[in-house]
Chains A and B, each alone.
Chain A
Amino acid sequence: MKSNNTKLVTRRPTLKTLSHKQIKTTIYIKSSTPYISALKRTKKFLANLRKNNSKYVSLMGMGKAVEKTLAIGCYFQNEKGNGIDIITKTVEVIDELMETESMGMHEDAGVQDVEEQSDDDRETFLKKGRLVGLK
């Protein structure tokens, strides 16, 4: 579907359909997430495990954040003695593309005004680190 007269506008986030329980036990690590903040957050989630009636906290990291996610996993494995499972996975994401031709009907619009959007499917890789709290 990708041709020469298209331009990448944005990359859409991954598809998320989370239940109440999943929301309370899943942490998405961004490349911009501070390491210590992620640790604190994970600890907080682990402390609330019983309240949410679940057995583990999942940490998700994709692309650039994979390394950081693994680092957090290692911290809990080595320092805290928690058991962790590392699961790798491929996730489909959607890119938002823009046609550079056929700008529309008129003259004086900025670039952001003339978004003709179409989506494209593209495969990227993602690693999912799963953390299991030890009981």
Chain B
Amino acid sequence: MIRVDQFINSRQFEIKQLQFAMQSSKTASATRVFQALPRKLRRRTASHNVKRIPKRMRNRALREMQKNEQIQTVKKGSTTSNKLKKHNGLTPAKLYKAKMAVKLLRLASKSTSMKLALPNEAVASKYNLRQRIKSLQKLIKEARNNGPDVKTVNNSLGNYDNTGINALAPIPKGRIKYCKRQRTFTWLPTHIWNAKRSHMMKRWGFSIPWSPTQKCFKLTHNIGGKHATSDGALCMDTSFIGTMTIRDLDPSGSNLKNLVKAMTKGRGLLNKFFKSKNLFEGLMHDWDSEDKNIVIGPCDMLWLSGNSILLRLHPALYPIVFNKLIQSYTSKLSIEDCRYSIASITIRGAKALTALSSVVRSHATSQSFEQFMKIRKITDETVLPSKCMFAFEAIDPRHLASPKMINSQKCNKPLTVDEILALQNKFPQDEFNSVLSKLTTVEGRETSYKNQNTLKQLARRRRQLLTKEQPKTAVPFDKDQDPTIPLLIMRRPKNEDWVVLLPWFWHLPFWYQLNRISRVYHSGLRQTQQLAYESGKLYFPDDYPFTHEGEMENAVYKRQARKNKWVKKPLGKRINFAKLEDIHLSELPAISGEIGDYFSCDWKLLQIINNGVVYLKQSNEGTLPMICPNKTTQFDDCKGRMVNYFNDVLEVYKDIVANKFEINSTTQGPSIELSKNIDPIKNYSITTISEISEKPIPVTPIVCHLVRRGHPKDNARIYRIPETDTEYWMKVAKGVYKSDGRLDNDTEVPLPQISDLIGYITSGTYHFGEGKGVGNGFVTTVITDTLPQYVLLRNVGTNIYRLAKCTKIKL
């Protein structure tokens, strides 16, 4: 007979034994101490160089290295004499060249430390090494003799303000060692930092971090997503997003108002943006062309005062927009190109504010800074009012020994709702404006670099602290000597992130400090795209097919990449798109297999099909004849194609594609445009055959949530549910069950027609937050004239239809 207590005790003992055994076997298999480190902190060089291992583990690591008789790396240059290394087997010519290169660098650093501005001959790529050295030598000599023509800068780091006034700014001079590498693609301030830790992408005239080297898909979701479990921050150097300031020469600002009105279709002049000076995030329309509906792309705009604005634009659009503005508005507006003079950091996640607040310090009492400090512990920033901006003058972040939160009595009071409301009611507008005017003017930025400390100078000041009876956490701020940095921190409510705008050369100090905080991770464009997708937003340029840039991205750039990948594969291992079967209800002779282009969202096909259906329904009193049973195709007297059946519509598409490849151009006008007011269209009509392929169809952005299993991929096709099959699909939406109580996923699916194609998914995958497949895309409503509640999705190269619920995306 078993007694209960004995039975439980013995099971408890067994469980403990098992746990103990598991624990001991886990530790026994590890032979080296760095194996205990988390994946993020592992270094390949840790097995050679102890300094890669955290200090508390170093002693054990050293012992282990000795035990294995491993050779340790020794500090460079300490033991081997420099003399032996000197020639290094170089021929005299090579040696001379190497020496000259070193000489150039020495001269350059000498001239910067003498606060001299680098001459153009030293940086421009057309000059050779000797000319560069000569020019530098001449410069230094002149400076020593107090020559009259010597240009100086106000700091010993060579930093200067590089702003283009009514012209695009030249590429920043940067460090002389790296200027040749930036001829076509400019580096961001954090380029070297990022290049060591991320995969870089060269596009739009910049070298941009694409994605961190370490895998981070899930991390990005966990930290950057909108949920209470986010514990950290994701930051990115977004200096490639161009900033320009536009001032109206007329003090009333009427020219600028007209421009903004045309650009934003009046939205930018609303009270919310113009009077209350909220950040405007929205679409920029082409203000010049006759068709006011042409969208250029997304933009951020902030009214600085009644007659000046700050405009932030994606680098793909920036030069186009800037040049267009210059052409038409030079006499009326003064436009400053601040691409290389205002840098920005974008940061998001629950701890974004905490991280930022540990880095920035204000040098004097500032209302804005106090407000910022008050909210620094908020982990869910959606509670904040829509206008949430802070501007103050910060001190050099390198003054701090390590980034830390301010812990004062005043700051540590728990936050109440009233204080949040005070943020909006007591906005220190005057102070805000004065800091902003420093950030947005050339002189303001220039003075912020005045007496910028070098690292050596700071280290010296820090050493001096050791001897004094002072707190040693930060180098004290010296009012007369030290520079102050105008900072703007703003929340972008639509993008759900924080943007810090600061002078270009102050970016790096902040960046270094920011990345020293634990649980702050860097990210790249790939992560920005992922987060935009996850929050159901459109990402420029991939999800903007109705703009020129987005169209190119989809139809040229991504299409080519995908196609090349497919072509490279051996025949047997790639999907034979042309031979796919059972895709549509009735197979038409015009098209076999997959429809449209296999590697992109084929908007042309969508346009022709939808316009064709509208045309045919109009001419056939509401019915859609699919195919003529007797003849294949018909031509009229002028050898134009006659469109009487749906099959002919597809023939029209084939003609156009064939022509397109012959002349190899996409200059046919846009196939799609953004639907006005994002509402269903009524009274859409096509009257002539030529309109079928010319009239752009209006599209609406939507998010599709899959109802059952599976997930959409990029370029998935969206079909509407045919009226005959509505009953079946509604049943699926409710759930069809097998007799064992589980969902039945193997029912026979009624197929739609090709003519039911209404759109494409531009970005789709499995959504971690929703726990199901989600895709962002565009649909037209010209066939149905209402936005359907349910749609069918089909991935390219498959014949499986999945039901999805769709909702509109607010733009």
Contact between A114 and B383, CB atoms less than 8 A apart: no
Chain A positions within 8 Å of B231 at CB level: 20, 23-24
Interface hub of A16, A20, A26, A96 (most chain B Cβ within 10 A): A16
Task: Judge whether B228 and A16 touch: CB under 8 Å.
Answer: yes
Chain B: CB-nearest residue to A110: B677
Question: Are B270 and A15 neighbours in the complex by a CB distance under 8 Å?
Answer: no
Task: Check B368 for interface membership: any CB of A closer than 8 A.
Answer: no
Q: Do the beta carbons of B383 and A116 come within 8 Å of each other?
A: no
B382 within 8 A of A: yes
Contact with A along B385-417 (1 / 0, CB 8 A): 110000000000000000000000000001111
Residues 97-109 of chain A, each 1 if its beta carbon lies under 8 Å from chain B, else 0: 0000010111111
Q: In this complex, what residue of B is CB-closest to A102?
A: B271
User: Of A16, A28, A109, which one neighbours B266 at CB under 8 angstroms?
Assistant: A109
Q: Indicate if the CB atoms of A92 and B266 lie closer than 8 Å.
A: no
> How far, in whole Å, are A14 and B274 apart by their CA atoms in the complex?
30
Nearest residue, chain B, Cβ from A9: B386
Contact A94 B270 (CB under 8 A): no
Nearest CB of chain A from residue B36's CB, rounded to whole Å = 15
Out of A17, A93, A115, A117, name the residue touching B414 (CB < 8 Å): A17
Chain B CB count within 10 A is highest, among A12, A14, A27, A119, for A119
| CB of B33 within 8 Å of the partner chain | no
- B279 CB–A CB distance under 8 Å: no
Which residues from B are CB-within-8-Å of A4? none
Whether A13 contacts B383 by the Cβ 8 Å rule is yes
- The yes or no answer to A121 lying at the interface (CB within 8 A) is yes
State which of B274, B382, B385, B678 has its C-beta within 8 Å of the C-beta of A105.
B274
Is there an interface contact between A12 and B350, defined as CB atoms closer than 8 Å?
no
Beta-carbon contact of A104 and B270 below 8 Å: yes
A-binding segment of B89-97, B372-380, B693-701:
B372-380
**B379: A residues at CB distance < 8 A:** 16-18, 23
Asked whether, in the complex, the Cβ of B385 is within 8 Å of the Cβ of A119, the reply is yes
Question: Shortest Cβ distance from B525 into chain A, in angstroms?
Answer: 27
Query: B703-746, CB under 8 A of A: which get 1 and which 0?
Result: 00000000000000000000000000000000000000000000
User: Does residue A5 face the partner (Cβ distance < 8 Å to B)?
Assistant: no
How many residues of B are counted as interface, with CB atoms below 8 angstroms from the partner's CB atoms?
A: 35
Contact indicator per residue, chain B 350-388, by CB within 8 Å of chain A (1) or not (0): 100000000000000000000000000111101101100
A79 partner residues in chain B, CB cutoff 8 A: none
Cα(A125)–Cα(B416), bound, Å: 16
Residues of B within 8 A of A114 (CB): 270, 272
Which residues of chain A are within 8 angstroms of B177 by Cβ–Cβ distance? Answer: none
Distance (whole angstroms) from the CB of A71 to the closest CB of chain B: 20
How many chain A residues touch B (CB < 8 A): the figure is 34
Is B592 interfacial (CB 8 A cutoff)? Answer: no
Q: A23-B231, A104-B272 are in contact. Are A17 and B421 (CB under 8 A)?
A: no
Instruction: Find out whether the CB atom of B418 lies under 8 angstroms from the CB atom of A107.
Output: no
Q: Are B271 and A104 in contact (CB under 8 A)?
A: yes
Residues in A whose Cβ lies below 8 Å from that of B60: none
Q: Is B261 an interface residue (CB 8 A)?
A: yes
Q: How far is the CB of B272 from chain A (nearest CB, A)?
A: 6
Task: Tell me if B386 and A94 are in contact (CB < 8 A).
Answer: no
Chain B interface, >50% SS class = loop
Residues of B within 8 A of A108 (CB): 265-266
Instruction: Say whether, besides A105-B269, A107-B266, A119 and B418 are in contact (CB < 8 Å).
Output: no
A12 and B421 alpha carbons, distance in the complex (Å):
12
Contact A15 B810 (CB under 8 A): no
**In the bound complex, do residue B267 and residue A28 qualify as a contact, i.e. CB atoms below 8 Å apart?**
no
B264 to nearest A CB, angstroms?
9
* Chain B residue contacts of A102, Cβ below 8 A: 271
Q: Is B424 an interface residue (CB 8 A)?
A: yes
A13 lies within 8 A of B272 (CB): no
Measured between C-beta atoms, what is the minimum distance from A63 to chain B in Å?
Answer: 16
How far apart sit A112 and B421, CA to CA, in the bound complex (Å)?
22
Please pick, from A94, A106, A110, the residue contacting B383 in the complex, using a CB distance under 8 A.
Answer: A94
Return chain B residues, CB-CB under 8 Å to A94. 383, 417, 420-421
Chain A residues within 8 Å of B386, by CB: 96, 115, 117
A112 nearest CB across to chain B (Å): 6
Q: Is B229 positioned at the interface, with any CB of A under 8 Å from its CB? A: yes
Assuming A13-B382, A20-B231, A92-B417, is B350 touching A112 (CB within 8 A)? Answer: no
Q: Which of chain A's residues has its CB closest to B229's CB?
A: A23
Contact A15/B417 with A23-B228, A23-B350, A24-B231 known, Cβ cut-off 8 Å: yes
Q: B306 → chain A, closest Cβ, in Å?
A: 13
A116 touches B272 (CB 8 A): yes
B415 near A15 with CB under 8 A, answer: yes
Task: Mark out the residues of chain A between 19 and 62 whose CB falls within 8 Å of any chain B CB in the assembled complex.
Answer: 20, 23-24, 26-28
Contact in complex: A116, B269 (CB < 8 Å): no
Shortest A23–chain B CB gap in Å is 5
Q: A16 near B380 (CB under 8 angstroms)?
A: yes
A32 to chain B, nearest CB (A): 11
Residue of A nearest to B378 (CB): A17
CA distance A121 to B417 in the complex (A): 8
Nearest CB on A from B808, distance (A): 11
Give B580-612 interface residues, CB cut-off 8 Å to A: none
Q: Residue on A with the closest CB to B386?
A: A117
A104 to chain B, nearest CB (A): 4
Within 8 Å CB of B230, what residues of A?
23
How far apart are the CA atoms of A20 and B417 in the complex, in Å? 22
Which residue of A has the minimal Cβ distance to B679?
A: A110
Q: Name the residue on B nearest A118 (C-beta).
A: B424
Q: How far is the CA of A114 from the CA of B271 in the complex (A)?
A: 8
| B418/A15 in contact, CB under 8 A | no
**Shortest Cβ gap from B732 to chain A (Å):** 20
Contacts A16-B380, A119-B424 given; indicate if A109 touches B267 (C-beta within 8 A).
Answer: yes
Question: Closest CB-CB distance, A121 to chain B, in whole Å?
Answer: 6
Establish whether residues B383 and A15, one from each chain, have CB atoms under 8 Å apart when the complex forms.
Answer: yes
- Complex contacts, B261 vs chain A, CB 8 Å: 106
Q: What are the residues of chain B within 8 A of A28 when measuring CB–CB?
A: 228
**Cβ A92 vs Cβ B416 within 8 A:** yes
A26 and chain B: residue at smallest CB distance: B228
Could you say which of A27, A96, A105 contacts B270, with CB atoms under 8 Å apart?
A105
Annotate B268-308 by CB proximity to A: 1 below 8 A, 0 otherwise: 01111010100000000000000000000000000000000
B271 near A105: Cβ-Cβ < 8 Å = yes
Are B228 and A18 in touch, CB under 8 angstroms?
Answer: yes
Q: How far is the CA of A77 from the CA of B107 in the complex (A)?
A: 76
Q: Which of A24, A26, A105, A121 contacts B421 (CB 8 A)?
A: A121
B416 CB to closest chain A CB (Å) equals 7
Separation of A131 and B270 alpha carbons in the complex (Å): 49
Pair B383/A104 contact, Cβ less than 8 Å = no
Asked whether, in the complex, the Cβ of B270 is within 8 Å of the Cβ of A113, the reply is yes
Q: Are A106 and B417 in contact (CB under 8 A)?
A: no
Q: Could you say which residues of chain B place their CB within 8 Å of the CB of A13?
A: 380, 382-383
Check if A93 sits within 8 Å of B417, measured CB to CB.
yes
Contact with B along A80-101 (1 / 0, CB 8 A): 0000000000001110100000
Task: Considering the complex, give the chain A residue whose CB is closest to the CB of B811.
Answer: A112
Residues on the A chain within 8 Å of B380, using CB: 13-16
Contact A16 B378 (CB under 8 A): yes
Contacts of B271 in A (CB 8 A): 102, 104-105, 116
Report the bound CA distance from A15 to B421 in whole Å.
12
Q: Which residue of A lies closest to B278 (CB)?
A: A117
Once the chains are docked, how many angstroms separate the CA of A118 from the CA of B421?
9
Is the pair A106, B270 in contact by a Cβ cutoff of 8 Å? yes
Whether B270 lies near A112 (C-beta < 8 A) is: no
Instruction: Name A10's closest neighbour in chain B (CB-CB).
Output: B382
What is the chain B residue whose CB lies nearest that of A34? Answer: B771
CB-defined A-B contacts under 8 Å, sample of 18 = A15-B383, A15-B415, A15-B416, A16-B379, A17-B378, A18-B228, A18-B350, A23-B229, A94-B421, A96-B386, A102-B271, A104-B272, A105-B274, A106-B266, A109-B270, A114-B272, A117-B385, A119-B385
Given contacts A94-B420, A108-B266, A121-B421, 6 further A-B contacts (CB under 8 A): A16-B383, A24-B231, A108-B265, A114-B270, A117-B272, A121-B417
Closest 8 interchain pairs by CB?
A106-B266, A104-B270, A17-B377, A92-B417, A16-B380, A23-B231, A104-B271, A105-B269
